[in-house]
Structure 1
């Protein structure tokens, strides 16, 4: 009886329990229902365009710089190597007023006598002064082939930049023997270029005998590459025409040590038997001197030089029993003051 009552209670409770479980499962499994849309099924009108009926401009906004010329950046090379673009400089003569005043305006302030003295002093100090110089170019002794010889070659001048009185003397001989040759020249020297003078004057030969005078015309100066050149033509009182060309060059090996190559050539237009000179190229000397310049005014040197008589001059020398070719060792000094 008790068992029957228990089964009835279980059966009555199962439907309610089953329904409760079904409701709980439905809430967990099914998503929450979406809230119903109040406008569902209604056709919504499109929102009105606030610009409807307005014509929008198609052009872009105006350029604030429209119509303005923008300056270009300065050229950093402007004016470099370019011809000026300004107006051409007039080439007409100066106006008359430019030369209408006093020749020396300072005369009105300081006085004509004072300014005349000042201008004379300025002219003298800037090129109008009188200058003088003496150059002992060669003062030497020569040794060779049993002969000991001596030689001098001295020249100088006094005057101004353009015009000078120029004098020259040279000669040679043997120690213990007679003077072989000697001459003196007196010349007017006129500048014809910054480094060249034309010279004219007279030359007088003391030796060899008979003594003889010559008219001289020549040129002397500093040629390109600093070659010192002295070239002259001579016309004797007997009508003999001769010429001499000398050239030398100072090559500085150091500031003090100087090598000087030198060459001298003599020519004649005709035979001069009394002087032992033949027509054409008559003699040549070539050598070199190595000097040490203790000060600019004093240069001792040693050197070597070759002498040769050529053509008819060599024939005259052979007939007189003289040497035609000779080599001499030299010792000497160059100085100036």
Structure 2
């Protein structure tokens, strides 16, 4: 078995050995290159543009992915760097005046401002309310009407409260001018007249009504009567929307007096507070029945006057009513 294998190896190596032997046997010095016919050689197929090493390098670079390489950032123009220079002045002219006569455009702007000062009239009953409590059922009516625009309005407000079958406990009529001093608050200036309780009183009225943060509605009023007594009232409320139509409205109202007024049953200091909560369902935005509960408490001298008159200083009422505006 060794001889056939050795014979096969020699047979496979014999052509290479023969080529090497033939090449060494060639006498290159004896070759006459002068008689060689170079005209038959095709030199057009030869690449004289780049040496072999350069071509190999180009082939190596051809396979490289240069897409992820980014050019070096050049320094920006110093003029493009933001600085501390003041901004240009706000233009005070009107662009349309450069095209049309200024007098014509001034009249146009005046007409536009006049059209935007729209006037409206509304009638609103914030509470048409039935009150059930120990000692007799009662009622409460709070409403107002106004006419004017979004900046200035003339307002007439009525507040009446009492028990069925008896004379009204209180009837208050307010007439005032409301002026928007900013987007959130209105200044109130006018007069108030109380038909009940007896004796009647007339007051000068100064107030502020508006919207506090977190959508809290607030109103405060200061009153000075024709008899010289001074009173104040403050109210805050907030609409909590359970759904788009179901709304819960908690409210706190405080009444204060600067002095005792025995004929009115009012004591100095914090006179009365009322804490209530009403839940209304808006069948329409301007028509909403409601139910709720109210707790009214007289304090200090006012509580003493109530006891002398045979009244309870603290009353809890269950209420049902309607809120509507037209």
Above 0.5 in TM-score? yes
Unaligned 5+ segments in structure 1 are 1-60, 62-69, 79-83
Aligned-pair CA distance for 1:87: 6.7
Q: Distance in 2 between matches of 1:184 and 1:233?
A: 15
Given candidates 285, 302, 324, the residue that maps to 2:313 is: 324
The match for 1:106 is 100
Partner secondary structure for residue 179 of structure 1: coil
Query: Counterpart of 2:199 in 1: which secondary structure?
Result: coil
Q: Which of 288, 293, 315 is the matching residue for 2:304?
A: 315
- Between the aligned partners of 2:95 and 2:183, the Cα distance in structure 1 is 35
Of 268, 273, 292, the match for 1:279: 268
TM-aligned CA distance change 1:233 to 1:91, over 3 Å: same
Indicate the residue corresponding to 2:132 in structure 1. Answer: 143
Cross-structure match for 1:85: 81
Could you say if the C-alpha distance between residues 123 and 236 of structure 1 is closer, same or farther in structure 2, counting changes exceeding 3 Å? Answer: same
1:93 & 1:317 partners in 2: Cα distance? 67
What is the DSSP-based 3-state SS (H/G/I as helix, E as strand, rest coil) of the residue aligned with 1:193? coil
SS at match of 1:301: strand
Structure-2 residue corresponding to 1:22: none
CA offset digits 1:213-250 (Å, max 9, x no partner): 00011100111111111110100000000001111111
* Matched position secondary structure for 2:211: strand
Q: Give the count of matched residue pairs.
A: 257
Q: 1:163: which partner in 2? A: 152
Asked if 1:123 corresponds to 2:117, the answer is no
Residue 72 of structure 1 corresponds to 72
Of 153-162 and 99-108, the range deviating more from structure 2: 99-108
Partner of 1:247: 236
Q: 2:184 aligns with which of 192, 195, 203?
A: 195
| C-alpha displacement of 1:198 | 1.3
Q: Equivalent residue of 1:281, what SS? A: strand
Cα pair 1:106 1:115 within 8 Å, conserved: no
Aligned-partner SS, 1:267: strand
> Cα deviation per residue 1:151-187 (whole Å; 9 max; x = unaligned)?
1111232222222222211011111111110111111
**Using the alignment, how far apart are the partners of 2:318 and 2:304 within structure 1?**
25
After the TM superposition, list the runs of 4 or more consecutive aligned residues in structure 1 that deviate by more than 4 angstroms: 86-95, 98-105
Structure with the greater alpha carbon radius of gyration = 1
Are residue 264 (structure 1) and residue 253 (structure 2) matched?
yes
Give the CA deviation at 1:89. 5.7
Alignment RMSD: 3.1
Q: CA deviation at 1:131?
A: 2.4
Q: TM-score, normalised by structure 1?
A: 0.69
Per the TM alignment, residue 86 of structure 1 is displaced from its structure 2 partner at its CA by 5.3
Distance in 1 of aligned mates of 2:210 and 2:320: 26
Residues 127-151 of structure 1, C-alpha deviations (whole Å, 9 max, x = no match): x111233321111010010311011
Determine helix, strand or coil for the equivalent of 1:147.
Answer: coil
Structure holding more helix per residue: 2
- Normalised TM-score (structure 2): 0.71
Q: Secondary structure at the residue paired with 1:232?
A: strand
- 1:105 deviation in Å? 4.8
Please state whether the residue corresponding to 1:255 is helix, strand or coil.
coil
1:335 paired to 2:324: yes
1:286–1:307 Cα contact (<8 Å) kept: yes
